[in-house]
Structure 1
Amino acid sequence: MGTWLTDTFGLSVPVVAAPMAFVSGGKLTAAVSTAGGLGMLGAGSAVSADWIRTEGAIAAASGKPYGVGLMAWSVKDHPEHLEAVLELKPALVSLSFGDYSPYVEQLRAAGIVVTTQAGTVADAREAIDAGVDAIVVRGAEAGGHGRNEVGTLPLLQAILELTDLPVLAGGGISGPRGLAAVLAAGAAGGWIGTAFLTCEEALTPEPSRQRLLEADETDTVYGTVFDAASRAGWPDEFGGRALRNTFYNRWEGREDALKSDDEGHAQYVAASRAADPTAASLYAGQGVGALHKTTTAAEVLSNLATYKTYLQAAAQLEG
């Protein structure tokens, strides 16, 4: 039951733990890879090149393949991030959200597998033209940044029809049933983030962890409020799915005003530092309702590995 993903990286479970800024440090990355998946370091725009090197070394110490996620719009302003990744030479680099095409061949020449996240069929066509090795279908259900136009299954089917490149599926995969569904459709694996948010090895602060455990599948919202408040530089075309809170409710529909509101910016920054879930961003997908307790990455992978049961059940129905 191997796929391109498991065969390429020597995995026992066809799962990539999506790179999540302020969540996926070296410890979580290594834990996922050690447990049979492919861990990914979330290198956000706010980190330094030295952070990437340090956390990458922690991830690499497991001796297992791992990856790094970068944002193209940030790499343009922080070329040292790409330089640090090239020094580390991880097995996989995900480069998304902006013009990533100038960096693809440089990474591939270093022996690194390159993928990007696509939120529409047009995104996938651009990825093919850029020469990536694989495409991540990111559906609207997914947490964090991306597009909100198309759900995971419709987009997955369309992109599988478009290309023979390996395709990974992300968005709304909260357990083994979801993983089995995308594999049955033809995906090479699952690109899963939300399920790892409350892992012991994650960088998630305790107040954020508790709020995530309390949330259900209806508590997320997609928009640019938190980006307007943070002033980090995210392009408006890529909003983010996060838990709705009082800060979001206050500013929803007034994002342009928030971009220049110093008081709103200061409140957001203070809340982020304090991990105050009423005002800080807590990026999570619609699968957040499946989070019920703090677990280890190994326990999450062990649960996902039971996807075979559901694939076998489907095969018996077909027979």
Structure 2
Amino acid sequence: MKDRKNILKVLSSIFIIFILVGCGKGKDSDSSNITNEGNEVSVSYINVGKGDAILIQVEDKNYLIDTGLEENSQMLIDGLKAKDVDNLDGVFLTHTHKDHIGGMGELAAAYDIDMMYRAEISENKKNGENKIDNLSEELSIPLTKLSSGDKVEITDAISFDVIGPLVLNRDDDNDNSLVMNLEVNGVKFLFTGDMQFAEEKTLMDAGVDLSSDILKVGNHGNKDATSDEFAIAVSPKYSVITTDTAVDTNSASKRVRNALSNSEIYITEDYERGITFKVLKDGKVEIAEF
């Protein structure tokens, strides 16, 4: 009888352990089904006429790529206000041309800016000075110079990845443009500045992975950029051309639009403030004007 009681106690203990282990497994199974914990990211291509101004927003962080022309600074400020920007964690200036750096003065007067960025490879003036370096000094904003392979972290999981320029082009600073990738929740953006055929070729020859979901079309869609080979290498789902075709009649060219015809093409002049691509936590992309 005593042995029987002991056997029952052992069986009872085994049953309790089984239940506890089973409950534990249930909890683990539930946690594995939690939805993607990634960040939502908004990338807004602001209509600043003929010029570039691209706002990247992650959590409470705001980064801007280029600032448009000085005379269109109010378009830039209005676009940033529409996106509720109250400070800028960083401003990337892709190269020294005025339709990319011209609005920097007005921007600095309107917002606190933590850091400016430019490519290490950049065209200098005849006296050896660099326009972006001079802006940094004039505006008292620290400057970081970036080379291919560098990263600028936004969060622990998200960063701008620098892929170009690789070599100095002494003929045209367009082909010294800072080129960056941004990948979030499986969606990949490619920011090209005014990169033309020459810089495109250096990246392709180097075997750089250019495949992207959303392409900022180089040099405003002018015919001297976005070669057929480059368009195939990128194979974007969406392409954004930043321009005002009334001012730059060579922009958004038919040849470039044909090269990118397998993607949905958006042109900033078609929107009052601009257009936003929002990447959700599950990797879906929402597109809306603002």
The answer to whether the superposition gives a TM-score over 0.5 is no
TM-score (norm 1): 0.34
Bigger share in strand: 2
Bigger share in helix: 1
Q: Which has the larger radius of gyration?
A: 2
TM-score (norm 2): 0.37
